[in-house]
Amino acid sequence: MTDHPKVKNYMTQDVDTVSPDNTVKDVINMIRKTGHDGFPVVEDSKVAGYVSASNLLEKSLDEKIGNVMTRDILVADTEMEMSDVARVIFRSGKSKLPVVDQNGHLRGIITNSDVIRSHIERTSPQKVWTLKKTLEAIHNIHVDVVRETVNIDELVPTQPKVYADELDGRIYELKKGLAEPIVVIKKSNKLILVDGHHRVIAAKKLGIKTMDAYVIPLGNEIQLGMEKTAATSGLHSLADIKILDYAKHPLVEITKRLKKDDENGLTKFSQ
């Protein structure tokens, strides 16, 4: 991903649209079918307006959409930076914007979820960069980083457990399309999962077979400490990861304890 991700990198290109000649009844049926709360109104491949569920209130079922749609709308350009889209969405209160090219033709739609996803994904390269530099320093080699789709059933874990409460959060993110890429070291005979264990287990629970990943290819001759530790711990596949159903994430418990101590005036800070 570039340093300045653009709308074209995150927008949804397959967009449900309506025509000014469609009726209110047509759009109500589309809302029921798709679950969306509004649609770009397109005429001759150009965005003529936007119709939302609120535009349909107290309107005749036979009323043409061209008579009820909002014509003065905000749109995004394909080359617009996601940081700028975030500002527009935040300040306008809109949840989505039609994406157009310089001629006003509809090219896609960008949502607040896409904005969140673009922000989340920008945090991953830092993890990968740190891993890359560590591997190069320890083994005196040069390593590359590539973006690939990996089969999660081929992953060898390096973490023995995940927490059920955090897993619920990752399942929600995956359903919303918000999960960041996982981090994997690729050898000729195995894929070693470095970061993203909760995401991978969440994906497996949802029946997802592949995931987006930052992949660092390495030769089999490079012996990794995490690889040895995983083998010693009996971690050979995702099935070896334990899900702690009743345990809370350590950070959550620490936060709760500190908050309780603070309320009782017991919090101490080491000098």
Give the pLDDT of residue 90.
85
Distance (Å, rounded) from C-alpha 253 to C-alpha 209?
Answer: 33
Q: Which residues contact 30 (CB under 8 A, 6 or more apart)?
A: 16, 18, 36, 39
Average pLDDT over residues 8-13: 89
pLDDT bucket at 33, cuts 50 / 70 / 90:
very high
Give the pLDDT of residue 104.
87
Give the pLDDT of residue 263.
59
Q: Domain extents for the chain?
A: 7-114, 144-248
Positive/negative CA dihedral, 19, 24, 29, 33: positive
Query: And the tokens for 120?
Result: 């989340």
In the predicted structure, residue 122 carries a pLDDT above the cut 80: no
Contact 7, 78 (CB under 8 A): yes
- Rounded to 10 degrees, what is the CA torsion of 25, 28, 33, 35? 170
Contact 52, 70 (CB under 8 A): yes
Q: Which residues contact 118 (CB under 8 A, 6 or more apart)?
A: 5, 9, 10, 82
Give the pLDDT of residue 141.
92
Give the pLDDT of residue 267.
47
In the predicted structure, residue 270 carries a pLDDT above the cut 60: no
User: How far is C-alpha 227 from the chain's CA centre?
Assistant: 28
Q: H-helix or E-strand containing 199?
A: helix 197-205
Distance (Å, rounded) from C-alpha 238 to C-alpha 201?
Answer: 7
Type of residue numbered 266? L
In the predicted structure, residue 127 carries a pLDDT above the cut 90: no
Tell me which of 2-6, 52-56, 74-78, 137-141 is least confident.
2-6
Give the pLDDT of residue 60.
95
pLDDT bucket at 95, cuts 50 / 70 / 90:
confident
pTM for this entry? 0.56
**Mean predicted lDDT score pLDDT of the chain:** 86
Query: And the tokens for 140?
Result: 């005196």
In the predicted structure, residue 265 carries a pLDDT above the cut 80: no
In the predicted structure, residue 2 carries a pLDDT above the cut 60: no
pLDDT bucket at 215, cuts 50 / 70 / 90:
very high
Query: And the tokens for 92?
Result: 């306008």
Contact 211, 150 (CB under 8 A): yes
**7-114 CATH choice from 3.10.580.10, 3.30.360.10, 3.30.930.10, 1.10.730.10:** 3.10.580.10
Positive/negative CA dihedral, 257, 260, 266, 268: positive
- DSSP symbols for 17-74: -B-TTSBHHHHHHHHHHH--SEEEEEETTEEEEEEEGGGGTT--TT-BHHHHSB-S--
Please choose, from the candidates 197, 210, 202, 216, the residue with its C-alpha nearest in 3D space to the C-alpha of residue 158. 197
Asked, colleague to colleague, whether 7-114 and 144-248 share their fold, the answer is no
Local structure of 231: helix, strand or coil: helix
According to CATH, the topology of domain 144-248 is 3.90.1530
The three-point CA angle 149-214-251 to 5° equals 115
pLDDT in tens, 157-182: 999 999 888 888 889 888 877 778 89
Contact 70, 55 (CB under 8 A): yes
pLDDT in tens, 49-80: 999 999 999 999 999 999 999 999 999 999 99
Query: And the tokens for 244?
Result: 């702690």
